[in-house]
Amino acid sequence: MHIETRLVQIGVGAEDRNTGAVSFPIYQATAYRHPTLGESTGFDYTRTANPTRSVLEAAIAEVENGDAGFACASGMAAIQTIMALFSQGDHFIVSLDLYGGTYRLFEQVLTRYGLSFSYVDLRDPAQAEAAVRPETKAILVETPTNPLMQVTDIRAMVAIAKKYNLLTIVDNTFMSPYFQRPLDLGADLVFHSATKYLGGHNDVLAGLIVTKGRELSEKVKYLHNSIGAVLGPQDSWLLIRGMKTLALRMERHQENAFRVARFLREHPAVTDVFYPGLADHPDHEVQKRQASGFSGMVSFRVRDAKQVAPFLRHLRIISFAESLGGVESLCTYPATQTHADIPAEIREKVGVCDRLIRLSVGVEHGDDLIADLRQALDASLEASLEAGGCTR
């Protein structure tokens, strides 16, 4: 079946032996009766397995073309579970432009346990290979990156990883399995902040992991149960419900993102637009080769940092909020929100400057989004001129 059908059919038929419910039920149980001594229904304690969560985990494994899925309490819980695969002294090669929460976990928490990280522009395979050390264990790829929308050639990273016997781990949050399936490109493990596009409605906190290969799947299964940062049944059901409309939503997110990116390029208040769907984006061809679309994330720089506050203040439809991937359009200021824990000198060196704004383009009517952006940008430009900032 096509992915659109597989998404809609999540959980359908799984309850036929009991009630025939089309919408799979929420099993709000922590304990399960055993038929007799030494026998189990397959469910013993809900941290280890829950029927609602199991349907979700099977679904994400199927749409990512993996062997096993694991639902976690958040995207960060998913990363923490993955990192438990490794040991003191292990080293990782990581995308240079990176979500600030991942950087915080790595640098402020996991370094205390003896792990080390090198942040590399993975668009250049030579830089990635040069960063390999004897103690390197994995390459962790965020593509497109957050927030600069830099695209890494996943196949190139897989080739380096195989050469040096490393794992390839890919954060697929920005693309979702509707547009990109890293396991098909040779990656070993993929994860999502499922709070974002997979949930799709800004109402559930969740993380998902998908593994390829029996041995790796068994290791992650053990850690998932042992660490216990699992997703509850209510949130599992919300995520199932959200994923059923993923295909429809991603098409509309992308349609609107194209319109917004093209509009931003022409506005005098804007200097740079970052969207891999634009033909002149430096990574456009790489994205076309490894994915079937470009998603709904757009970042841009205004002419002067003095424009940021009035721009945010004048938005009417687009909410100034710290997330992405929901049906509602959101605007984020990385310097003080998602990337605040990255030291300013590192952040600015990477390109996450005080003029950068990130948009999660929702599924509203495109005309209304552009009208909102236009009036807010016009107001920001006027405010900056009055303050002695940028010139027209």
In tens, the pLDDT along 19-60 reads 999 999 999 999 999 999 989 999 999 999 999 999 999 999
Do the beta carbons of residue 243 and residue 59 sit within 8 Å?
Answer: yes
Half-sphere exposure of 24 (CA within 13 A, CB side): 27
Gap between the Cα atoms of 276 and 298, Å rounded: 9
pLDDT per residue over 245-302, tens digit each?
999 999 999 999 999 999 999 999 999 999 999 999 999 999 999 999 999 999 999 9
Q: Is 241 a catalytic residue?
A: no
Do the beta carbons of residue 180 and residue 171 sit within 8 Å?
Answer: no
Between 28-42, 153-167, 175-189, 293-307, the lowest mean confidence (pLDDT) is in 28-42
pLDDT per residue over 341-351, tens digit each?
888 888 988 99
Q: Is 355 a catalytic residue?
A: no
Half-sphere exposure of 280 (CA within 13 A, CB side): 5
Annotated catalytic residue, options 171, 235, 283, 372: 171
Q: Over the chain, what is the mean pLDDT?
A: 96
- Residue 392 pLDDT level (bands cut at 50, 70, 90): very low
User: What is the C-alpha radius of gyration for the chain, rounded to an integer number of angstroms?
Assistant: 22
Full set of structural domains in the chain with CATH: 3-244 (3.40.640.10), 247-386 (3.90.1150.10)
Q: Is 188 a catalytic residue?
A: no
Specify the residue for token string 């059923």.
244
Q: Is 99 a catalytic residue?
A: yes
Annotated catalytic residue, options 123, 196, 212, 301: 196
Annotated catalytic residue, options 27, 90, 99, 372: 99
pLDDT for res 342:
87
**pTM reported for the whole predicted model:** 0.96
Annotated catalytic residue, options 47, 104, 265, 288: 47
pLDDT for res 187:
98
pLDDT for res 389:
58
